Structure 1
Amino acid sequence: MKTIAVIAPGAMGSAVALRLTGEGARVLTALDGRSEATRARAAAAGMEAAGDEALAGADIVLSIVPPAEAEALARRLSPHLAAAARKPVYVDANAVSPETVRRIGGIVAATGTPFLDGAIIGLPPKPGTPGPRVYVSGDDPAPAMALRELGLDLRVCPGGVGAASSLKMSYAGINKGLTALAALMVLAADRAGAGEALLAELAENEPQLLARFAKGLPDMVPKAYRWAPEMREIAGFLGQDEAGRQVFAGNARLYERLSGDDGTEDIAALLRFAQTAAGRG
């Protein structure tokens, strides 16, 4: 039986864990300081609470945390990884830039632990569906192939550490960047009194986009706090492209506003637009 450490049991992590336990894997996670809701979600997925030493002793460590926490997790586990007699393979599957993932890879590699860059593209897996694509890149992806055998749609992204994260940054930049653009324009139209006219024009000439926004804007609202740091990682990924960096730094500020008290009225306007748009479908 393979033992997989999935950190942490958020919406994606717990869904991935449920897929793994359903295929016979033992899945460990960290629950210290977590809420009762998180503990219940982990239990429902068949995850077992474990300390850092036990996590570092798994066959595979799968890091699925908010971008801002990815490096801190690697640093926290590094002493235990260094002390482990049998090294796991550490897969960082977070929405971080190639620069960040290479820094994380350096922390892990210093412990003698094999490291793979990972990227999850798609929604959390549900029963009866293949689930998201899980890409890995690095010197030797073979040890991660066990995840494919355990039900994940695992794919090798050609290239070294940074290749999978580059794919994630590019895809998320288009996907979540388009949602940010829609939110900005919907709010601007609403402030100017042109919201209904914008909706009617989209319904007539861009019905597929309108249907996407009707679903995507409400879906974004509870995730905005996580998308903000991801936008900053994408800004870093754009490197010397000053215009691109400015766009995604602005997207980060938008998502930060929408996730705070200052965004309450804007959220209400976006949800009104989405509800009306859904009614046109």
Structure 2
Amino acid sequence: MATITVIGAGAMGSAVGRRLAEGGATVLTFLEGRSTATLDRAKAAGMRPTTLTEAIGADLVLSIVPPAEALGVAKTVAAESLRLAKPVVFIDCNAIAPATMKQVAETCAGTPVEVIDGSIIGGPPRPGYDPKFYVSADSENHTRRLSDHGLVVRRIDGGIGAASALKMSYAGITKGMTGLGTAMMLGAIRNGADESLKREIAESVPDIDKRLSASIPDMYQKAYRWVAEMREIAEFLGPDDAASQIFHGMAGVFEKMAADRDGDAVLASQLDKLLAVKEGK
């Protein structure tokens, strides 16, 4: 039975911790400075909060935090690893650009930390559903322990940056579509073309209509987390690629939707009303 640390006990981190615990792993977490609600969520998922030293002494250490926190977690793990007398296997599972992932690896250079590039495709694990954990730079197959305890792991040939590139590409398409649909529908609402747009989408491209009708409302509570992710995707494409500007724009869209959720939710209400319009009405 493996001991696995999950740093981060948000919706994804706690669900991953629960799946690993259900699969027989001992699951630790380090939550210094986090809220009581976060501590309660971690404990309910079968995760045991502990000290940083014990946490990084586990067989595997997973980082599942918002993109903006990824480098800080790596720095903390690298510094604490110098206190241990054994190697630390650290898997960064965050939605970060390959360049940021390489910074994570560089941060850990010269320490006992072995860095594995990871990315999660899909939502939090739940009964009957499993996201996929893609990994690269795992020459020793350390991540087999994740498979052994209930996670779906897929290996990618390539080094640091390969798994992160997959995440950036996939999220750019899927979350980018949600952001684009949100922006265009809000534009149509402002100009009185909203119901006509919705009916045309439903008639002409029903698959897109179905997808946006689910993904846009689902986005509201996640929008604040997607802001940094969109900026990471822009970084992934690079300043010489004009498409990077699209994702700077998407960051702005999600920033606006996050502020709307924290405020009076006027935009969300307008979108919900529009998404409820049925074809032919």
What TM-score, normalized by structure 1, do the two folds share? 0.94
CA-CA distance at 1:109 after TM superposition? 3.0
Range that drifts further, 32-41 or 63-72: 32-41
CA contact (8 A) 1:8 1:29 kept: yes
SS state at 1:114 partner = strand
CA-CA distance at 1:107 after TM superposition? 1.2
The one-letter code sitting in structure 2 at the alignment partner of 1:238 is: L
The one-letter code sitting in structure 2 at the alignment partner of 1:236 is: E
Structure 1 runs of 4+ aligned residues shifted over 4 Å read: none
CA contact (8 A) 1:91 1:115 kept: yes
- The superposition leaves residues 45-104 of structure 1 with CA deviations (integer Å, 9 ceiling, x where unpaired) of 100011111111111000000000000011112221122112221000000000000000
- The superposition leaves residues 127-185 of structure 1 with CA deviations (integer Å, 9 ceiling, x where unpaired) of 233x1110110152511111011110011011000000000000000000000110011
Range that drifts further, 171-180 or 254-263: 254-263
Distance 1:213 1:138 in 2: 35
Distance 2:274 2:18 in 1: 35
CA-CA distance at 1:263 after TM superposition? 8.2
- The superposition leaves residues 102-121 of structure 1 with CA deviations (integer Å, 9 ceiling, x where unpaired) of 00011123212111000000
- The superposition leaves residues 199-248 of structure 1 with CA deviations (integer Å, 9 ceiling, x where unpaired) of 11111111111111111001000100000000000000001443111100
Which residue pairs with 2:274 in the alignment?
273
Range that drifts further, 32-41 or 171-180: 32-41
The one-letter code sitting in structure 2 at the alignment partner of 1:189 is: A
Range that drifts further, 6-15 or 32-41: 32-41
Distance 2:242 2:264 in 1: 25
Distance 1:144 1:263 in 2: 44
Distance 1:141 1:215 in 2: 40
CA contact (8 A) 1:257 1:263 kept: no
Question: Do structure 1's residue 113 and structure 2's residue 113 form an aligned pair?
Answer: yes
CA contact (8 A) 2:86 2:112 kept: no
CA contact (8 A) 2:14 2:45 kept: yes
Distance 2:266 2:241 in 1: 31
The change in CA–CA distance for 1:212 and 1:60 in structure 2 (over 3 A counts) is: same
Which residue pairs with 1:165 in the alignment?
164
Distance 1:211 1:250 in 2: 24
CA-CA distance at 1:264 after TM superposition? 3.5
Which residue pairs with 1:177 in the alignment?
176
Alignment length (residue pairs): 278
Distance 1:117 1:141 in 2: 13
CA contact (8 A) 2:165 2:236 kept: yes
CA-CA distance at 1:260 after TM superposition? 1.1
Which residue pairs with 1:4 in the alignment?
4
CA contact (8 A) 1:64 1:93 kept: yes
What TM-score, normalized by structure 2, do the two folds share? 0.94
SS state at 1:100 partner = helix
CA contact (8 A) 2:108 2:115 kept: yes
Distance 2:26 2:276 in 1: 42
Which residue pairs with 1:244 in the alignment?
243
Question: Percent identity among equivalent residues?
Answer: 46
Which residue pairs with 1:253 in the alignment?
252
CA contact (8 A) 1:3 1:25 kept: yes
Range that drifts further, 33-42 or 45-54: 33-42
The one-letter code sitting in structure 2 at the alignment partner of 1:40 is: D
CA-CA distance at 1:44 after TM superposition? 1.3
CA contact (8 A) 1:116 1:141 kept: no
